[in-house]
Structure 1
Amino acid sequence: MSKTTVITARLEPELLAKLDALASEIDRSRAWVVAKAVQRYVEEELEYRAFIQAGIDSADRGELVSQEDMEAWFEARHRQAAAAE
């Protein structure tokens, strides 16, 4: 069995009731649901932060799109969509 650590968290009564209802619905423990929620949050947050850092790194390398190029791209897409109607 893998080693785990116990943590505590304070939840509003309404959220705790929802947590318990979900755990009951999926036939899992409250701890299991909380661990999965924390795992999902951490993975998504790390992915989001890596995405932001990639954008910052790209900008630092000068890999930017000018306002004029962006407006031209948008206008071309807008014209293309209007022509398809």
Structure 2
Amino acid sequence: MSKSQIITARIDPEVMDLVDRVAKARGRSRSWLAARAIEKMVRAEVAMMDFIQQGEDDIAAGRFLTQEQMEEWVANLRSEAKAKIAEQDAKAQQEQDTAA
């Protein structure tokens, strides 16, 4: 079983009032609330750091698109989507004509 660690932080009175309000509403202690808040924040920060590192690794390995390539890719996606919508509209119109 791992031992928990103690951390000390200075909190503005206004923020401490909010901590107390939330702790009371949740039926939890200040310590529990602080520990969960720190855990949530650092996990999100580490996830962002890992995400950025993955991007940097991809760039270093040459796995990226230039601005022009991205614009072309998005334009192709738009064209494909418009074609699919037009196809669906034509099919719907044909079904209406057949039903009439």
Deviation at 1:82, TM superposition (A): 7.0
Q: Point out where structure 2 has 5 or more consecutive residues left out of the alignment.
A: 86-100
Aligned to 1:38: 38
Q: Point out where structure 1 has 5 or more consecutive residues left out of the alignment.
A: none
Q: Given residue 9 of structure 2, which amino acid in structure 1 is its aligned partner?
A: A
Query: If you compute each CA radius of gyration, which structure gives the higher value, 1 or 2?
Result: 2
**1:1-40 deviation line (CA, Å, top 9, x unaligned):** 7522221101111111111100000000000000001111
Aligned to 2:74: 74
Matched, 1:51 2:70: no
* d(CA) in 2 for partners of 1:11, 1:82: 54
Identity %: 38
* d(CA) in 1 for partners of 2:55, 2:2: 37
Q: How many residues align?
A: 85
Q: Given residue 37 of structure 2, which amino acid in structure 1 is its aligned partner?
A: A
Return the TM-score normalized by structure 1. 0.83
Deviation at 1:75, TM superposition (A): 3.0
Q: Relative contact order, CA 8 A, sep 6+: which one is greater?
A: 1
Q: RMSD value over aligned CA atoms?
A: 2.1
**1:49-81 deviation line (CA, Å, top 9, x unaligned):** 011000000000001102211112233445567
Q: Given residue 75 of structure 1, which amino acid in structure 2 is its aligned partner?
A: A
* d(CA) in 2 for partners of 1:81, 1:37: 42
Aligned to 2:9: 9
* d(CA) in 2 for partners of 1:71, 1:20: 50
- Gap change, CA 1:80 and 1:12, over 3 Å in 2: farther
Higher percent of residues as helix = 2
* d(CA) in 2 for partners of 1:76, 1:13: 55
